[in-house]
A and B are shown apart, each in its own frame.
Chain A
Amino acid sequence: MSIEAMNQPRPLFRTRRELFRDSGVGFASIALAGLAKGWGLDAENPLAPRAPHFAPRAKRVIFLFMHGGPSQIDTFDYKPLLERDHGKPLPFEKPRIQFAQTGNLLKSPWKFRQYGESGAWVSELFPNVAQQVDKLCFIKSLYGTNEAHGGALLALHTGSATFVRPSMGSWALYGLGSENESLPGFITLCPTLGHGGVNNWSSAFLPGIYQGAPIGNASVPAKQAGFAHLTSQEIPADLQRAQLELLREINGEHRERRAADAALEARIASYELAFRMQTEAPGVMDIAGESPQTLKLYGIDDPKTENFGRQCLLARRFAESGVRFVQCTHSYKWDQHENLLDGHSNNAREVDKPIAGLLHDLHARGMLEDTLVLWAGEFGRTPTAQGENGRDHNPHGFTIWFAGGGTKPGFSYGATDDYGFYATQDRVHLHDFHATLLALLGLDHERLTYRYAGRDFRLTDVAGRVVKEIFA
Chain B
Amino acid sequence: MGDDEHYFETSVRPLLVQHCFGCHSDSAPKVKGGLKLDSRAALQAGGASGAVVVPGDPAASELIAVLRYDGLVQMPPKGKLAPADIATLEEWVRRGAYFPDGGAAASNSDDAVRERPWSFEPVQRVQAPQVRDELWCRNDIDRFVLARLEAAGLAPAPEADRRTLLRRLSFDLTGLPPTVDELASFEADLSPDAWAKQVERLLASPHYGERLARYWLDLARYSDSNGLDENLAMSNAHRYRDWVVRALNQDLAYDAFLTWQLAGDLLPEPDDEAQARDQLAATGFLVLGPKMLAEQDKEKLVCDVVDEQMDVAFRTFQGLTMGCARCHDHKFDPLSQRDYYAVAGIFKSTATMANLGFVSRWNERPLGRAAAIEARRAHAEKLEAAKRELATLRERAAQVASRSALASLSSYMLAGTRAGWRVALFEAEEHSRGNLIRDASQYGSAEVVVARSGTGGVQFAEYDLAFVRPMRARLEVRYAAHESRPMVVKLDGRVIAESALGEVTGSWNPDGQRWTAVAMFEVRAGRNVLRLERDGSIPHLDQLLVVTGEDGAEPPAWPLVADVDAALAPELVRAWAAHLSSAERRNDALFALWSRFAALPETEFAMQASALAAELRAKRDAGELGAWNPLVLGLLDGLPPQSLRELAGRYQVLFVAADRAWSELKARNKDATALEDAALEALRKVAIGGDSPLRLPAEQLESLYTSEERAAIAAKGDEAAELERTLPPMFESAPAARDADKVADMQLLRRGSHLDPVGDAVPRGVPAALASASAMEPIPAGQSGRLQLARWMTSAGNPLTARVAANRIWQVHFGRGLVASSSNFGMRGDLPTHQELLDWLASELVARGWSQKALHRIICQSATYRMASDARPEALDKDVYNTLLSRQNRRRLDAESLRDALLAASGQLERTLGGTLLGTGNGDYVTNDQSANGARYDVPRRSLYLPIIRNAMLDLFSSFDYPDPSVTVEARPETTSPSQALYLMNSPLVVEASRKLVAAAMGEGRERVGRLYLAALGRRPSAAEEARALRFIGHDIEQRPSMGADVGKAPPPSDPAAQAEAWRAFAQVLLVSNEFLYVD
- A residues bordering B, Cβ < 8 Å? 31, 34-39, 96-99, 146-151, 153-154, 161-164, 192-199, 202, 204-205, 207-209, 211, 213, 217-219, 227-232, 234-236, 238-240, 242-244, 246-247, 249-251, 254-255, 258-261, 263-264, 266-268, 270-271, 273-278, 331-332, 339, 387, 451, 453-456, 462, 465
Whether A270 pairs with B980 at a CB distance below 8 angstroms is yes
Whether A208 pairs with B981 at a CB distance below 8 angstroms is no
15 contacts between A and B (CB under 8 A): A96-B297, A194-B927, A197-B951, A208-B958, A209-B977, A235-B986, A240-B985, A247-B1069, A251-B1074, A254-B1074, A254-B1075, A255-B1074, A261-B890, A264-B1078, A454-B321
Residue interface bits B958-979, CB-to-A below 8 A is 1, else 0? 1001001011000111111111
Whether A236 pairs with B951 at a CB distance below 8 angstroms is no
Which residues in window 1039-1078 of B have CB below 8 A to A? 1039-1043, 1061, 1065-1066, 1068-1070, 1072-1075, 1077-1078
Query: Which of B231, B315, B979, B1065 has a CB less than 8 Å from the CB of A239?
Result: B1065
* A-chain residues with CB within 8 Å of residue B876 when the two chains form the complex: 259-260
Known pairs A208-B977, A239-B1065; A198 contacts B295 (CB<8 A): no
By Cβ-Cβ distance, the 8 closest A-B pairs, closest first, are A150-B229, A197-B951, A194-B928, A454-B828, A274-B981, A232-B986, A38-B973, A273-B978
* B-chain residues with CB within 8 Å of residue A234 when the two chains form the complex: 991
B820: nearest chain-A partner, CB-CB: A40
CB of B600 within 8 Å of the partner chain: no
Whether B981 pairs with A270 at a CB distance below 8 angstroms is yes
Bound Cα distance A153, B229 (Å): 8
* B-chain residues with CB within 8 Å of residue A462 when the two chains form the complex: 14, 18
* B-chain residues with CB within 8 Å of residue A270 when the two chains form the complex: 976-978, 980-981
Residue among A146, A240, A453 facing the most chain B CB atoms (10 A cut-off):
A453
* A-chain residues with CB within 8 Å of residue B987 when the two chains form the complex: 229, 232
Query: Which of A96, A238, A267, A453 has a CB less than 8 Å from the CB of B824?
Result: A453
Binds A, one of B621-629, B661-669, B840-848, B1028-1036: B1028-1036
Residue among A36, A202, A246 facing the most chain B CB atoms (10 A cut-off):
A246
Bound Cα distance A402, B113 (Å): 51
B10: nearest chain-A partner, CB-CB: A456
Residue interface bits B322-351, CB-to-A below 8 A is 1, else 0? 001000000111000000000000000000
Whether A198 pairs with B290 at a CB distance below 8 angstroms is no
- Tell me, rounded to whole Å, the shortest Cβ–Cβ distance linking B947 to chain A: 14
Interface of B is mostly: loop
Whether B1042 pairs with A193 at a CB distance below 8 angstroms is no
Whether A246 pairs with B1032 at a CB distance below 8 angstroms is yes
Known pairs A37-B973, A37-B976, A454-B826; list 17 more (Cβ under 8 Å). Answer: A148-B294, A150-B229, A150-B292, A161-B292, A163-B308, A196-B227, A197-B928, A202-B964, A204-B967, A236-B1040, A242-B1065, A258-B890, A273-B977, A331-B929, A332-B928, A455-B324, A465-B82
CB of B571 within 8 Å of the partner chain: no
A190: nearest chain-B partner, CB-CB: B929
CB of B952 within 8 Å of the partner chain: yes
Whether B1028 pairs with A249 at a CB distance below 8 angstroms is yes
Query: Which of A35, A161, A196, A209 has a CB less than 8 Å from the CB of B951?
Result: A196
A465: nearest chain-B partner, CB-CB: B82
Whether A228 pairs with B890 at a CB distance below 8 angstroms is no
Bound Cα distance A219, B952 (Å): 13
Residue interface bits B855-872, CB-to-A below 8 A is 1, else 0? 000000000000000111
CB of B777 within 8 Å of the partner chain: no
CB of B955 within 8 Å of the partner chain: yes
Bound Cα distance A162, B1078 (Å): 37
* B-chain residues with CB within 8 Å of residue A205 when the two chains form the complex: 964, 967
CB of B823 within 8 Å of the partner chain: yes
Whether B1039 pairs with A238 at a CB distance below 8 angstroms is yes
* B-chain residues with CB within 8 Å of residue A149 when the two chains form the complex: 229, 294
CB of B717 within 8 Å of the partner chain: no
* B-chain residues with CB within 8 Å of residue A147 when the two chains form the complex: 296
Residue interface bits B983-996, CB-to-A below 8 A is 1, else 0? 10111000100000
A31: nearest chain-B partner, CB-CB: B976
- Tell me, rounded to whole Å, the shortest Cβ–Cβ distance linking A100 to chain B: 9
Bound Cα distance A217, B931 (Å): 13
CB of B228 within 8 Å of the partner chain: yes
* B-chain residues with CB within 8 Å of residue A39 when the two chains form the complex: 973
A145: nearest chain-B partner, CB-CB: B297
Bound Cα distance A234, B1035 (Å): 19
* B-chain residues with CB within 8 Å of residue A451 when the two chains form the complex: 828
* A-chain residues with CB within 8 Å of residue B1077 when the two chains form the complex: 267
B1068: nearest chain-A partner, CB-CB: A243
* B-chain residues with CB within 8 Å of residue A261 when the two chains form the complex: 871, 890
Query: Which of A148, A197, A238, A251 has a CB less than 8 Å from the CB of B1073?
Result: A251
Bound Cα distance A79, B668 (Å): 56
Whether B975 pairs with A151 at a CB distance below 8 angstroms is no
Whether A199 pairs with B951 at a CB distance below 8 angstroms is yes
Residue among A207, A218, A254 facing the most chain B CB atoms (10 A cut-off):
A254
- Tell me, rounded to whole Å, the shortest Cβ–Cβ distance linking A182 to chain B: 8
- Tell me, rounded to whole Å, the shortest Cβ–Cβ distance linking B793 to chain A: 19
Whether A455 pairs with B976 at a CB distance below 8 angstroms is no
Whether B975 pairs with A162 at a CB distance below 8 angstroms is no
- Tell me, rounded to whole Å, the shortest Cβ–Cβ distance linking B954 to chain A: 11
CB of B982 within 8 Å of the partner chain: yes
* B-chain residues with CB within 8 Å of residue A35 when the two chains form the complex: 975-977
Whether B228 pairs with A196 at a CB distance below 8 angstroms is yes
Whether B955 pairs with A229 at a CB distance below 8 angstroms is yes
Whether A228 pairs with B955 at a CB distance below 8 angstroms is yes
* B-chain residues with CB within 8 Å of residue A238 when the two chains form the complex: 1039-1042
Bound Cα distance A150, B231 (Å): 9
